[in-house]
Structure 1
Amino acid sequence: MKISTKFHGEIEMNEEEIYTFESGIPGFLEERQFGLLPLDETPFFVLQSLKTPEVAFIMTNPFEVFPTYEVNLSDEVLADLQIQSEQDVTVFTILSVRDSFEQTTANLQAPIILNHTKKLGKQYIMKTDSYTTRHKLVPSPIMQEAK
């Protein structure tokens, strides 16, 4: 199927790249079908709405950037996404990309959970004080020197 995208222009998308978000994404409740597209030669992906080309989220694997990050899925999320095993799940974090990439932040409080077996997705808002919606993706030079 051909779709228009925010970052890739018009592309051909395979069915196996399409995920259904039954409840949409907070703030985008009408957007229910998304394609998962890699950004070539980067660790980033685009979660692209099939309905609205301008609705696209840059994401990355949070565990590669934040090695101690933990996500404990609720029973409701496990049921909603029909998750049978850990192997069904892929976790992403949405990035707020800034003009100065050093200012880019990751939303660790509300990861995107994908069941790549059933092609279902959900943004899971965790009830925890451990994470916020704006964790710096790139540590400041002062923090790097302190290590």
Structure 2
Amino acid sequence: MYIQTKYMGSVEVDPSKILYFSSGLPGFIEEKEFVLLNTAENSVFQILQSADTPEIAFVVVNPYYFYQNYVFDLDENLLNGLSITDAEDVMVLAIVTVRKPFAESTLNLKAPIIINSQNQQGKQYILNTDSYPSKAAITLPDSASVKGE
């Protein structure tokens, strides 16, 4: 199937790769289906694109690329709601607020996106802790670089 995207025009997506967010995302509760698209410019960042509304897309990243010590517990309601039975099935993403210059961009570590990679179910999970900010600096690991700055 083809979908219209915010950043890449029309793209073909495998229907089995559609991520389903039963509650939508905060601020976008009507948006239930998304796809995760790789960017040609940089393999670290991806686009979480609404399958229905081209204008709704978020730059996301695996937060462990930047914050290796990022640790939190998933509560029983989330585990049950996403049918997570194995930690290996959990994908964690952080939404990036892109700024110019790129060095001023931030990650939302306070509200990660949790995806069960086995059943494609997802939810944005707001952490009940002050340990992580909603605007964490993007600090590149040594020897890494980001294209497109």
Corresponding residue for 1:81?
A: 82
Corresponding residue for 1:111?
A: 112
Corresponding residue for 2:130?
A: 129
Structure 2 residue identity aligned to 1:37: L
Query: What is the CA-CA distance between 1:72 and the residue it aligns to?
Result: 1.0
CA contact (8 A) 1:17 1:37 kept: no
**Runs of 4+ displaced beyond 4 Å:** none
Structure 1 residue identity aligned to 2:45: F
Query: What is the CA-CA distance between 1:42 and the residue it aligns to?
Result: 2.4
Counterparts of 1:11 and 1:94, CA distance in 2: 21
Structure 1 residue identity aligned to 2:28: F
Secondary structure at 1:47 match in 2:
strand
Counterparts of 2:115 and 2:38, CA distance in 1: 15
Identity of aligned residues (%): 42
Corresponding residue for 2:8?
A: 8
Q: Does 1:24 align with 2:24?
A: yes
Unaligned runs of 5+ in 1: 140-147
CA RMSD in angstroms, aligned pairs only: 1.0
User: What TM-score results when the alignment is normalised by the length of structure 1?
Assistant: 0.91
Corresponding residue for 1:67?
A: 68
Counterparts of 1:28 and 1:95, CA distance in 2: 16
Unaligned runs of 5+ in 2: 141-149
Question: Residues 1-33 of structure 1, C-alpha deviation per residue, up to 9 Å, x if partnerless?
Answer: 110001111011102321000000000000000
